[in-house]
Amino acid sequence: MAKVLSNMPLAPGIYLLTVEGTYRARMGQFYMLRCWDSYPVLSRPISVHDISPESISFLYRAGGIGTHLLAKLQPGDSLQLEGPMGRGFPEPEGRTAIVGGGMGTAPMLLAARQLPEAQVFLGFKDAPFGVSRFQDIHSNVTVVSGGMIADHIDPACYDTILACGPVPMMEALAYKTEGSSAKLYVSVEKRMGCGIGACNSCAVTINGTVRKVCTDGPAFPAKEVNWIDLLSL
């Protein structure tokens, strides 16, 4: 069992949970979190927001039963962490852009930390949240509130783009990068059971074959993604 160091609201319904301990993760990987016994049945897959030698943190929205229970955690409380799960983002080549939209900014802080040369783009439907943590470690942070983040990115300026956000945002980026030499990788979501590749629940069609978000992803090359597949979460 791991111990909660802090669990602070950053915006209405959005929390930053920091857990004590030495953990490892590469950008885009996630952990399965659980702070309850048998209800809800499944643990919750939450991407790693940040990591330090003494702690790991997760940025999440209290949307359903599980995340509401997570939101009640107090410093000193214990919870279970299993991970890191998934392969995360691949190592980018050349000039890199990091793009996060809304809750999709959560996994991108670790990417920003691991890629100090990259340019960071953060998009929000309403008021931005968690931006200062990016600005603390990065000088190249563009923040857009309302509107389309894709409008602010010129794919010709990058060799690699790493993105996570709502499906329409990632799809817009995918259209925009078509015909450019930039390689776009998107981190996707599906309802997940085990997180370790055993239950085949989080299947997505990638390049015409069925893959698992948990162990084959959650990041995939955008041009191999079947977007319709991602609409039924």
Q: Does 38 bind another protein (CB under 8 A)?
A: yes
Which residue in the set 17, 19, 27, 32 belongs to the binding site for another protein (CB under 8 A)?
Answer: 32
Q: Supply φ then ψ for residue 171, to 5 degrees.
A: -65, -40
Q: Supply φ then ψ for residue 122, to 5 degrees.
A: -120, 125
User: In angstroms, what is the minimal distance from the CB of 195 to another protein?
Assistant: 8
Q: Does 210 bind another protein (CB under 8 A)?
A: yes
User: In angstroms, what is the minimal distance from the CB of 22 to another protein?
Assistant: 19
Question: How far apart are the C-alpha atoms of 113 and 137, rounded to whole Å?
Answer: 7
83 or 130: whose CB is closer to another protein?
83
User: In angstroms, what is the minimal distance from the CB of 43 to another protein?
Assistant: 7
State whether the Cα torsion 65-71-74-79 is positive or negative.
positive
Omega of the bond leading into 218 within 30 degrees of 0 (cis): yes
The reply to whether 199 sits in an annotated binding site is yes
Question: How far apart are the C-alpha atoms of 65 and 71, rounded to whole Å?
Answer: 10
Question: How far apart are the C-alpha atoms of 29 and 159, rounded to whole Å?
Answer: 22
User: In angstroms, what is the minimal distance from the CB of 226 to another protein?
Assistant: 10
Q: Does 67 bind another protein (CB under 8 A)?
A: no
Q: Does 200 bind another protein (CB under 8 A)?
A: yes
Q: Does 62 bind another protein (CB under 8 A)?
A: no
Q: Does 68 bind another protein (CB under 8 A)?
A: no
Question: How far apart are the C-alpha atoms of 60 and 68, rounded to whole Å?
Answer: 10
User: In angstroms, what is the minimal distance from the CB of 41 to another protein?
Assistant: 5
**Which residue has 């802080």 as its token pair?**
109
- Residues binding another protein: number (CB under 8 A): 28
Which parts of the chain are beta strand (E)? Answer: 2-11, 14-20, 30-34, 44-47, 50-52, 55-61, 78-85, 96-101, 119-124, 141-145, 160-164, 183-187, 203-206, 209-212, 219-221
Binding site residue list: 44-47, 59-61, 66-67, 194, 199, 202, 214
Binding site for another protein (CB under 8 A): 32, 38-43, 82, 190-203, 209-210, 215, 229, 232-233
Binding site residue list for FAD: 44-47, 59-61, 66-67
